[in-house]
Amino acid sequence: MARLRGTSILFAALLMIQTAFVIVMYSRNGTSSRPPDERPGKVHILIVSSWRSGSSFLGQLFSQHPDVFYLMEPAWHAWVAMHQSSAKVLHMAVRDLIRSVFLCDMSVFDAYMHKKRNVSDLFQWAVSRALCSAPACDSFQRTEISNEMTCKTLCGKYPFDRIEQTCKTYSHIVLKEVRFFDLKVLYPLLKDPSLNLKIIHLVRDPRAVVKSREQAVKALMRDNGIVLNKNGTRVDDSKYEVMREICRSHIQIYETATQKTPPFLKGRYMMMRYEDLVRDPAIEISAMYDFAQLKPTKKLESWLYNITHGQGAGKKREAFKITSRDAVNVSQAWRNALPFEKIKKVQEVCKGAMALLGYLDVESEKEQKDLSYEVVLPRRQYQFSWSTIKERKVK
């Protein structure tokens, strides 16, 4: 017990020191925000989403691009180290970690990892093509599509400082996180003149999210406890309390970005629905790349088609693996997999988010099973915009 108390005090002290340093840096740089075209040459993209919403897939669309340095959920380390805290309390630690990584300063991990570490000690490192190619490792060329298993076999033993070296060689740095529940937490990063930050907010039909979460119950229990502030207790979200918080966060993020948008956020927020992405990936990826100031490659376009038109929708998969499958069918799988009573409960706890984001309720089991009944409104009916203009339903 004394050891646990001492560990908690140590992490609290480290967090205070780190936060003080960031505050000093902000004060030196000033908080006035320059327009994106006057900011530094590097482009920083933060994918904000929630667990089981297709964010790992979206992250790969960036990771496989030859101009992108990508990391998947680096803030996982902060949550694991301080798992007895709440998501709200950890927001500051996560934000400061993200800022350091955007600036290719990997010393931020000193607070959460042992001193002697390899590239393989970073959470989900092998899904980053950049860490599978030079200068991190020579297994792949930058223009090639990387393979996670090959990368794990050949690249994991390189020293951790290769991550920082590699990061500095890329024009675009993309991070994917599922641990932000309030867009205002990111305001200091959006105002920071040393960053050229853009935010992609990925959402998904809450009913599909619940179906996917049921395939990863054990993997999500610690995160559930942090979201619900259970002092380190692992939680099975059988009552959909976490889903309620996730849906609330989507409303908060979207409305903050689109209603009375602050000047420093204009043109730097993009909301994307997973269902739109898998139904028409060519159009969606083109819009997303334009937003991120990237140009697609032929190899990437070919990989994208294969990954969204493959087989394997019904096969058992590991919790966080990206595999080739029919993505459109996957997005509709909840309609046959979930009992209607569960669907009613999800629709109840996520009512506001579903209405805001264009997801229609099913009123009966018959509607649920009838795949000709469309439950995702076409974007044109809501006039979704890439430039943070508020959606409005067309009458």
The answer to whether 360 and 375 have CB atoms below 8 angstroms apart is yes
The answer to whether 175 and 71 have CB atoms below 8 angstroms apart is yes
- Domain 40-104+168-381 in CATH: superfamily? P-loop containing nucleotide triphosphate hydrolases (3.40.50.300)
DSSP 118: B
- Has residue 342 got a pLDDT over 60? yes
Measured CA to CA in angstroms, residue 323 lies from 13, 57, 93, 102, 315 at distances of 41, 9, 32, 28, 10
- Has residue 28 got a pLDDT over 90? no
Measured CA to CA in angstroms, residue 274 lies from 8, 50, 67, 303 at distances of 38, 12, 24, 18
pLDDT band at 387 (very low <50, low <70, confident <90, very high): very low
Q: What is the amino acid identity at position 227?
A: V
Three-state DSSP state, 23 = helix
pLDDT tens, 86-132? Answer: 999 999 999 999 999 999 999 999 999 988 899 999 999 999 999 99
pLDDT band at 22 (very low <50, low <70, confident <90, very high): very low
The answer to whether 136 and 165 have CB atoms below 8 angstroms apart is yes
- The three-point CA angle 244-249-255 to 5° equals 130
Instruction: Kindly list the strands in the beta sheet with 269-273, ordered across the sheet, starting from the edge strand earlier in the chain.
Output: 68-72, 172-177, 43-48, 197-203, 269-273
The whole-angstrom separation of Cα 174 and Cα 297 is 17
Other Cβ atoms within 10 Å of 378 Cβ, number:
12
Given this model, what pLDDT does residue 23 score? 43
